[in-house]
Amino acid sequence: MSMQDNNMMMDAKLVDSLLQVNQLSYRMPPQISIAQKVTHTIMYSQQSQYTNGQTVVFDMQSGNSFVDATCSYLRFVVTPSAGTHSFGSGSCQNLFERVVIRTRSGRELSRCENLNLLNKFMDRYMKSDNWQKTVGKSMGYSQESGAANIYGDAVPAAGKLFVVPLCSLAGCFNIIGSKLLPPQMMSGLRIEIRLADPTCFSSVDQQGAPANLASYTFDRPEIHLKEYTLNDNFSRKISEMANQGLNCLYFEHYNTIVATTTNAVNYDIKKAVSKAVRLSVISREQANINEAGRDIFQATPFSYETIQSNCGSDYIPNQPLQLNGTADVNNINEMYYYALEESNKLEPWDPSSVTPQQYLGRTNDGTVADVFSNGMVVFNWNRSNTSQLAGYTVSNSRSLLINLKQEGVAKNLRIDTYLTFIRLAKYMNTNALVLD
């Protein structure tokens, strides 16, 4: 028998495989699900109504179920005390000043200060324009209307219902690898959401002297969970694995705030982590933050002449990135392109909803802000193009530094920097271990 004849011989397994590849197999597909039941469960907060400045508390009672965080959400109604207001360039997440997540044993899994500012920019940069018009719409994100007196979708005095994906509340709900949240984590979990001051709202009409909001109520908060109950054999196997610990990796964010009135801006991040992967630098004018009725979450018009960061002897970029002239529509493209590159929005093609005009922004001169100001400086410290897990080690002897230079006359800025790093949570049947 020749080698050619041998290659042409087919057994039954090869025939079945070729039929499947050529989409000519008409057999029933194998049963691969290990779930016994799926349910939609509602968790209620400790109170039915909260006001600004209070802390919303949930104690989760999910039992032995596994939770799909991507299909779970927080639902609530927001009611301004008087008049009609909006969330400006942000969303209903403007209300979330701080979120803290703890296990049933009291171990802190996640804590993010000024989560409202972070989420506004992450959603604008990481999500597409189509997302903003669909999922983002249910969260309160609005599109620029271009109208003379409209700035963001209205939140009427009668109240408005909003829905926020559970994944947006904390990094621990976004396990790398899109895994279900195990019962060893979710059972007895405590979620604490600190509500922001009424300044998180802006006036729908930004012209003249916008009115400030006195107070608001946060009504009927509920967390809706999509839960899966596994077959006994698989549930028992995972419980045995939990004796050694279920490893869950996720991204956590550490907030640093600096104030400056000088052109040269240099500061370091005082946080020791083993895997630092990203820096997000958001600059806002102090006067705009303190002005009643304005959108306090909009960035200042981009005004940095040079940008650079370094960790020890490593620099990103190697030489400071520099403007060609002044920051205007003719010279902003390189800085804008660099922000998209460092946000991993170039390849594979996954467009951001932030336009070059939004990145440049515009001065708040008392007229309607018909262009959302969303400029942000981004430094990516991930050392791999195939993995998200190859960050840099930061410690007291190896600081992470940021070096910026304002062009022209220095502005009075508040700069919020979010260090994104990898955290490991090891869930056991009785407790949890958390490592940065």
Question: Could you tell me if residue 14 is inside a domain?
Answer: no
Which of 196-212 are b and which e, b meaning 16 or more Cβ less than 10 Å from the residue's Cβ? bebbbbbbbbbeeebbb
Give the mean pLDDT of 42-55: 94
Cα angle, residue 169 at apex, residues 401 and 135 outer, rounded to 5°: 110
pLDDT score of 149: 57
Cα–Cα distance, 323 to 309 (Å, whole number): 16
Cα–Cα distance, 86 to 150 (Å, whole number): 10
Give the mean pLDDT of 391-402: 87
pLDDT score of 179: 83
Kindly indicate the confidence band of residue 16, based on its pLDDT and cuts at 50, 70 and 90: confident
pLDDT score of 373: 87
Domain count, the chain: 1
State the CB neighbour count (10 A cutoff) for residue 272: 16
Give the mean pLDDT of 360-384: 79
pLDDT score of 251: 93
Question: pLDDT averaged over the chain?
Answer: 87
Cα radius of gyration rounded to whole Å, the chain: 25
Percent of the chain residues past pLDDT 70, beyond the cut: 93
Kindly indicate the confidence band of residue 1, based on its pLDDT and cuts at 50, 70 and 90: very low
Kindly indicate the confidence band of residue 422, based on its pLDDT and cuts at 50, 70 and 90: very high
State the CB neighbour count (10 A cutoff) for residue 259: 9
pTM, rounded to two decimals: 0.89
Task: Decide: helix, strand or coil at residue 386.
Answer: coil
Nearest CA to 136 out of 118, 122, 149 is that of: 122
Q: Is the pLDDT of residue 74 over 90?
A: yes
- Per residue in 329-357, pLDDT tens? 888 899 999 999 888 888 777 788 898 98
Q: 376 near 361, Cβ under 8 Å?
A: no
Alpha helices by DSSP H, listed for 272-343, are 286-290, 333-342
Q: Is the pLDDT of residue 287 over 60?
A: yes
Question: Could you tell me if residue 2 is inside a domain?
Answer: no
User: The CATH number of the domain where 344 resides is what?
Assistant: 2.70.9.10
Q: Is the pLDDT of residue 369 over 70?
A: no
Question: Could you tell me if residue 231 is inside a domain?
Answer: yes
Kindly indicate the confidence band of residue 309, based on its pLDDT and cuts at 50, 70 and 90: very high
Task: Decide: helix, strand or coil at residue 118.
Answer: helix
Give the mean pLDDT of 273-294: 88
Give the mean pLDDT of 303-324: 90
Kindly indicate the confidence band of residue 147, based on its pLDDT and cuts at 50, 70 and 90: low
pLDDT score of 23: 83
Tokens of 287: 């006067």
- Per residue in 106-131, pLDDT tens? 899 999 999 999 999 999 999 988 99
- How many whole angstroms from its chain centre is CA 238? 29
Task: Decide: helix, strand or coil at residue 256.
Answer: strand
Give the mean pLDDT of 136-152: 77
- Residues spanned by the domain of 341: 35-435
Question: Could you tell me if residue 24 is inside a domain?
Answer: no
Kindly indicate the confidence band of residue 365, based on its pLDDT and cuts at 50, 70 and 90: low
